Amino acid sequence: MACAACHAGWNQENFSHAVTGLQLDETHVQVDCTDCHPGRHYDTPPNCAGCHDDGRAAKDAPPGTRVTPRG
């Protein structure tokens, strides 16, 4: 199901990743959502292997700064 089905007007340009508890850094805010969330599975941990071949995972090397989720 597309996010926009429940979140009217949502798109990559107006989505604030900080609502998830992670403010993306300058590099990661530029990549497409599906680069980290293949198959548009936003409810599962991101997959870093598509760009990083060093075994990193978002849990240990987050692509930004952890923040208090806002909604």
The confidence band for 7, taking pLDDT boundaries of 50, 70 and 90, is: confident
User: What are 42-56's pLDDT values in tens digits?
Assistant: 888 899 999 999 999
pLDDT at 48: 95
- Backbone φ and ψ for 33, nearest 5 degrees, come out as -50, -40
Calculate the average pLDDT of the chain: 87
Looking at beta carbons, which pairs linking 44-50 to residues 24 or more positions away fall under 8 Å? none
**23 within 8 A of 69, measured Cβ to Cβ:** no
d(CA 30, CA 32) in angstroms, rounded, equals: 7
Quick one: average pLDDT of 3-8? 69
> Is a pLDDT exceeding 70 seen at residue 1?
no
> Is a pLDDT exceeding 80 seen at residue 6?
no
Give the DSSP H or E segment for 65. strand 64-66
